[in-house]
Structure 1
């Protein structure tokens, strides 16, 4: 016989609620902290199977089929589905499974809506609360009223967007028709929609065999509570430490509904994930991990550095900086655009890993970044060396965790005629400017994808990527390749929530001109060319700090291609409108 302490064993019992029998399911050791998982509509407790199995290794996990669903009773009449009955049911389950102690509450969809009511009306029963894709109805009503009072274009857009997402709620208010549709065979199309729309394949237990009856009975949840709360919202607030997980691809719940939530929930954390509504099925590892981190953080348990950073990033506090708790990796960070970018992210709260071929300059950037933000770290790496980049990526992962932003910035300059470039010249510029980006993106994008929480990659290209020049054949080719690579990666990684940006500076005053090679010339002539180029760039007066600001903005707004300087914008526009003119200009000998 399986003991109660075996995490994989599911133990079922019946608990008497308010006039109904509730099917209750438990896993894990009852002596451990209790986590109560509330399911939504038209699901049953089984929607949590994957998450529950992971949590049961550390916690006592409790689930139950709410009234009208699964193996629980199905009372007739909408009045039996009001919040007062639902809260009485929850209290009965809590008294039976975790008497006289606080539990950690987690809700999804309608389970989250119920959980909000519980967290706001009986907060003394809960040690923490995690809400997923199910807002408090009173908060939604107040958010809607706020948008109507201030009908700015933004507020109107957000309001209409949520109204469109809520189409099914209006349908559920019609008499009899929803019940008829469910009982007529909606189960098959529902399962297919889950698989096609969210990548959630059917499995034993979900969707449940009782889905036609569950869907028909559960309509009572909407009829009994939605309109009454929207018409007369109650002043709901809670002091329970609350974590709201926001799936950014949710087709039913707008991310904008968290607006103003901090005023009603003083202890609030927000986390976003590139996933759909049924994120508890599609991303159980991430959801279980975040629930565990939230519980550990609220109970004063030991956290790893990566967990502490993640919780700090999620925390909603006045004056919070936009990259608070983020980990940002910048290559070529020893000077110029790379150093300015590292400092810009540090100033906005990020923990920075500054990497450069020159270890002393990398360490200096880290020291400067540490003065502006959290601790920063300087590391040496040659981006052209595949093995070195492998070790670098592993070091970052093991010592600091998965980065949230990676800026592949390292690059070198090279000028001169094509016929003067040797194969070694081509190899060197492509190894650094292109292969460095390939290595960085390949390694860190894989980490981001495995983590499942999204991220952003910035690749430094150049205005030379779309500005042909007889004087820059190798350099322009390498940067054009970076631009196209970034466009391809953006298309592929979008489905994983990873943004990709190509930054295209123009003439920027950095030391790249002082280190560039001018092929086909002796050393004295090259040094003279470097001095001339450096003077011209200095007179242009466009500093790397301005590029860094564009990098930060590109990550915040998830922009694809960012020409930075005015001449970069002009070249980008002209290359699209009149490529023939660009080809003529490319013939000009600037030497």
Structure 2
């Protein structure tokens, strides 16, 4: 007989650490137990949309943390210390599931206090898993800040300063009396409106205890932040952790979780293009992720998406992400694939030469990455459609797409036949159009954000009588990237155009020199190849710049001194570019 499904909550009291906590039970008593811990300035009701999604599958427990909802409200700030909050959580677990570990899910301050329990050795055996949303361990943050400051680099300092600016409210909550007066003066009534306007939360339930929750909850900040950040402890855990990172979070920046695999060897990471509270109000995606994670830890097979989300210990900033690279069989494409593999990503190599793509995937696996290879003729739009559908069905959607495949072509415009134009534009431009439109749409539908990189060239800024078709195609890629970046602004998807200079790859051997016979073309190729070899700008250098540009969400990244010079010349002395364009370099 199936266990009864409880649609209305059963309320009960739990004796915590010196307080009585109001707890609530829903759902299927035969399913795994989920324990939900809310943040500030919420109470347990913030979980109701998620509870409706999961009640048929799980037994769900939520409680009002001390100082919120119907639970006791300690008066002294010291009674809101993290160790007391962890003791409360332990008491709830022992009351509701003494013989079976529970799956913990927490948000905001609920996540912060849950980290205290998750990293406490005596409590870890009570936990089957932990799903954390928008709330770091304060000790981990303290170590993160120290590590960045020790780097003594402008970017590292900028990360710390940026997070301090985002966390302005923490300083405000430490001011005496003012936050409490603000909650009493009308902030509680205005809170649902603020969530709608600032966070995009379409439905915000009125909370009858909002003023009290906001008033007393500021003690959480006063009791914990200074001590934890300036005297951080070593806080590892063996509990499996699913990290949910809303990339539009105004308060908790994704960078705070860069080093989390140092503390959590069993870590899964997922990103979503959402704000701090949006997942709580529109929880269908969150419910699916929790269901996948819990089912796997209860003995089920991991979905492909969950496999991709697994973070390798010691991996880099792209851990848990899928990176797709076209033209990945060699040159910049292969180097880029391997760069992202080294930075923790799972990678998918696509190339018209399947053997070369498989070799690139093999090299990525040697670095410890999950890697796949697929044959793809990017010049064929029908193949691109089929390939994109396969990626969607197999992986959900990629997090990063590098439209790299391209071919070279030299010669005067009047020597370039229509079929040469068509071949070049199909590969260099139309494949980028297809890659952008197909995968940007997948990213939008998946709702997790992402990034698109389009490999253009320094030639996009340098007109020349000797490579009209090639420069035209790359200039079009640059403009396409700028237009798409504007279109996707605010939707969690970045777009970057990469403009490398003279990169020493095999592209010259595949370049067609129009207007020359076979012998002359061979001599010309050899001459240009020697120039590229003397310049010796490597594909690996370009790959590093690509990864860095994605991390910084740069709109355009020139690579190589000649590329930077070309950009500057076109912007500040276009007359000189036009004059130099007249030179016949093929003579």
Write the distance in 1 (CA, Å) between the matches of 2:342 and 2:76. Answer: 57
Q: Helix, strand or coil for the counterpart of 2:428?
A: helix
1:190 — aligned with what? 191
1:199 — aligned with what? 200
Unaligned runs of 5+ in 2: none
Q: Helix, strand or coil for the counterpart of 2:136?
A: coil
Q: How does 1:354-369 map to 2 (within 5 A)?
A: 354-369=349-364
Contact (CA 8 Å) 2:292, 2:303: kept in 1 or not?
A: no
1:238–1:463 distance in 2 versus 1, CA, 3 Å: closer
* Residue 34 of structure 1: how far off its partner (Å): 0.8
2:38 — aligned with what? 39
1:445 — aligned with what? 440
Write the distance in 1 (CA, Å) between the matches of 2:475 and 2:299. Answer: 50
Contact (CA 8 Å) 2:14, 2:23: kept in 1 or not?
A: no
1:13 — aligned with what? 11
Contact (CA 8 Å) 2:318, 2:343: kept in 1 or not?
A: yes
Unaligned runs of 5+ in 1: none
* Residue 79 of structure 1: how far off its partner (Å): 6.1
Q: Helix, strand or coil for the counterpart of 1:184?
A: helix
2:504 — aligned with what? 509
1:134 — aligned with what? 135
1:587 — aligned with what? 582
Q: How does 1:20-419 map to 2 (within 5 A)?
A: 22-72=21-71, 74=73, 78=77, 81=80, 86-87=85-86, 89-119=88-118, 120=120, 122-137=123-138, 160-203=161-204, 205=205, 207-223=206-222, 225-226=224-225, 238-255=237-254, 257-258=256-257, 267=266, 271-281=270-280, 284-296=283-295, 298-311=297-310, 314-315=311-312, 317-318=313-314, 320=315, 323=318, 326-346=321-341, 350-374=345-369, 376-419=371-414
The two structures have a TM-score, normalised by structure 2, of: 0.85
* Residue 348 of structure 1: how far off its partner (Å): 5.1
Write the distance in 2 (CA, Å) between the matches of 1:321 and 1:229. Answer: 25
Contact (CA 8 Å) 1:198, 1:282: kept in 2 or not?
A: no
Q: 1:531-579: CA deviations, max 9, x gaps?
A: 5544544454444344334334433444332222322221112112211
The two structures have a TM-score, normalised by structure 1, of: 0.85
Write the distance in 2 (CA, Å) between the matches of 1:543 and 1:339. Answer: 12
Write the distance in 2 (CA, Å) between the matches of 1:510 and 1:229. Answer: 51
* Residue 36 of structure 1: how far off its partner (Å): 0.7
Q: 1:257-308: CA deviations, max 9, x gaps?
A: 5577666656555555454322533663443344345445555531123322
1:143–1:15 distance in 2 versus 1, CA, 3 Å: same
Aligned length: 582
1:506–1:228 distance in 2 versus 1, CA, 3 Å: closer
Write the distance in 2 (CA, Å) between the matches of 1:28 and 1:34. Answer: 9
* Residue 458 of structure 1: how far off its partner (Å): 1.8
* Aligned CA-pair RMSD: 3.7
1:363–1:144 distance in 2 versus 1, CA, 3 Å: closer
1:420–1:449 distance in 2 versus 1, CA, 3 Å: same
Contact (CA 8 Å) 2:462, 2:471: kept in 1 or not?
A: yes
Contact (CA 8 Å) 1:199, 1:282: kept in 2 or not?
A: no
* Residue 462 of structure 1: how far off its partner (Å): 0.9
Query: For 2:461, which of 461, 466, 469 is the aligned residue?
Result: 466
Q: Helix, strand or coil for the counterpart of 1:355?
A: strand
2:566 — aligned with what? 571
2:492 — aligned with what? 497
Contact (CA 8 Å) 1:503, 1:563: kept in 2 or not?
A: yes
